[in-house]
Chains A and B, each alone.
Chain A
Amino acid sequence: MQEFDKYIKDNLYNHESPVPAGLWERIVPEKDKKKPAPLPFWKNGYFQSTILAIITVGIIGSAYFYTNKSTGENAIKIKELSPLIKLAILNKNATGSATGVITKTKENRSDFTTVETKNNDSKTNTIHSVCTHKSNAQETKLKMYNATTADKGNAQLLADNSFVISQSERINTFTTNKNNRRLLNESENENQKFERGNIVLKSWNLPTDNYVTKTLNDSKNTITTITLPNNTTKNWFVELYASPEYSSKKVGISSSNYFYTQALDTAQKLSAGFTVGIRIAKNLTNHLLLKSGIQFNQINERFRYKQFDTKNSTVVTERSYINNDGATISIKDTSTFIQTGYRLMTSYNTNKSIEIPVIASWEAGNNKWHFAANGGIIANIASFYEGKTFDNNLNTAPLSAKEQNGVLKSAINLSLYGGVSFLYDIGNSFDAFAEPYCKYGLSNSSNTSFGFSQRFNSLGINFGIRYKIPRSSIKL
């Protein structure tokens, strides 16, 4: 039946039938429908979703902040006090004064605040008045006045209540006069301490830019800490962070190298990478921070390729036969054959970068939570490649141009950075934060001499710790 089958195949395999008229016109719209023209990036759903997410989170964060400002009984609003201090008030039982918590504040003057504490006996109040003023750019002076009331509403200023405040290396001693609040003396003596009276200034640090009131209890004392408005321009922060990151690659194709880029596209697959870094942040205004630092970014990629191999084999066949004379004749026949095949190889490529982030951050929040919207530029100042790729001839070549026949050169690239941050005060000047972000590559990150260009876009979420650098610490 082979002849019959062959006859049929020979006649029909390449047989052509008339094509109905108009079929091409039916194919063209179908084909175009399958592959719509690429949209500009601002119409890309991925980009729009990211922007929408940032805006939504921003609105929610802002609404949360403005609706959750401290309004409780213990809330302190002392807007007029320009220098930031964190005030610890310790009511000493030994002095006969009652312990209590802050129940009320008054703002008598632009630079003057009265804090009233409720005593445990419920009959007397203690009024602690705090006044600060800024004497020069580096120094904050603080005045403090105390008073107790035997009965509610009848405040009496206490005489001779004095205490010592140290700020940097400067020691200021203040006291109050029964009828006239005034600064009595100043001293350079760092060792002076004073704990008389029913109120003692315990310590303060440069605080955050909002008003925090919290009550801490220990076995002996009740400590009420008041954080007053910040002089934000003096705040510095250090941020340490790390992020898992998923990147996508956008390849620009030169028409003459389409098949090269297609081969690369088939062989390469990006996998999860990461970023670690450190940033310094500084308050420019109450809400605006500028951040910059250095970070290390690694993009991982799996590269699969075929490694062709040829093997030459020599085969010696020995035969023997008996000739007419009865003798055994041995004949050796030598032949060679070539085996050609390939192995599927996998290379795990890494694209490492040293980057400089420059980010502006708008930040707001309440006592515990802060929200920030971030935007800026990431400058890739150095890149290091490891692994394999294809060269122009689709042969396997080292990824890094530093190696012989390597493909990719290190280049300086820029990326747009956008994201939001959620910060939570974990105490002792530390905040923990989570920062979802996206990076949009602005410039190409590979060697254009190969007729194509590529850039990376990334999504990630930074997890980190922020430390507020203390500028001064005052202890009694």
Chain B
Amino acid sequence: MSIVKQLYLLSEYELIKGCIEQNPHTQRMLFEQYAGKFMSVCLRYSIDSMEAEDMLQEGFVRIFSNLHQFKFEGSFEGWMRRIVVNVCLKYIQKRKLPFKDIDGESASELHIQPYIYGNLSEDDLLKLISNLPDGYRIVFNLNVIEGYSHEEIAVMLGIEASTSRSQLVKARRMLQNQIIKLEKIAV
């Protein structure tokens, strides 16, 4: 029986319990189930795929080490995702992330129609986001994709909430400009 099929036979409770009991088979199943998603998370925060691999590795080590602290309050995936994001932020903080305005970027936002970006694939979106400057990209990821508020981001990154807001607006603006350029090229 393949691991994927076995996953359906295991409840989340059994999966967690098996991992806490250091069952290697269950641990492997947990890895197989979530590694792809968390790799995508790490790629959005990292500067390259090598760093993303390191982030994912450390993320899973922390998940397995701290699994016994999961109190079954809220989503299990959300709990693991927070750990992975925290690991990513730790890597980013080592690089002393600059939160500076990029010259020539206006804070005013563009209003683009959904049909313009609706054709973009997920990989295209990932590439566009990865091209954002570090500060923009991190705040954009944390706010738009992970759903953290500016106040939470401010605490996580050690910046002002207003800085987070301005970085987001500028990130969004830069992203939209890139999308429009892509669309023109396509036309």
Contact = CB atoms under 8 A, between A and B. Distances in A.
Contacts of A23: 35, 53, 56-57
Interface string B46-66: 000100010011101100110
Interface in A1-53: 1, 3-5, 7-9, 11-20, 23-24, 26-28, 30-31, 34-35
A180 interface: no
A259 B24 CA distance: 19
A378 to B, nearest CB: 32
A16 B176 contact: no
Nearest to B112: A4
A30 B145 contact: no
A17 B39 contact: yes
Contacts of B145: 8-9, 12-13
B109 interface: yes
Interface string A236-264: 00000000000000000001001100110
Size bracket, chain A contacts: 20 to 34
Contact of B24 (A3, A8, A17, A28): A28
B40 A16 contact: yes
B10 interface: no
A4 B36 contact: no
A5 B144 CA distance: 6
B172 A1 contact: yes
Contacts of B56: 19, 23
Contacts of A3: 114
A4 B117 contact: yes
Main SS class of interface, A: helix
A355 B58 CA distance: 49
B122 interface: yes
Contact of A31 (B65, B112, B172): B65
B37 A16 contact: yes
Contacts of A34: 61, 64-65
B165 interface: no
Contacts of A9: 144-145, 147
B43 interface: yes
Interface in A112-152: none
Nearest to B35: A19
A8 B44 CA distance: 12
Given A12-B126, A27-B31, A259 B17 contact: yes
Contact of A15 (B57, B69, B122): B122
A259 B19 CA distance: 12
Question: Which has the most chain A C-beta neighbours within 10 Å: B22, B144, B172, B176?
Answer: B144
Contacts of A24: 28, 31, 35
B115 to A, nearest CB: 11
A31 B36 contact: no
A12 B57 contact: no
- Shortest beta-carbon contacts, A-B, top 8: A16-B36, A17-B40, A17-B39, A19-B35, A15-B40, A5-B144, A30-B61, A31-B64
14 contacts: A4-B112, A4-B117, A9-B145, A9-B147, A15-B40, A15-B122, A18-B36, A23-B35, A23-B53, A27-B60, A255-B17, A258-B20, A259-B72, A262-B68
Interface of A: 1, 3-5, 7-9, 11-20, 23-24, 26-28, 30-31, 34-35, 255, 258-259, 262-263, 266
Given A16-B40, A34-B64, 9 more contacts: A1-B109, A9-B147, A11-B125, A12-B125, A17-B40, A19-B35, A19-B56, A31-B27, A34-B65
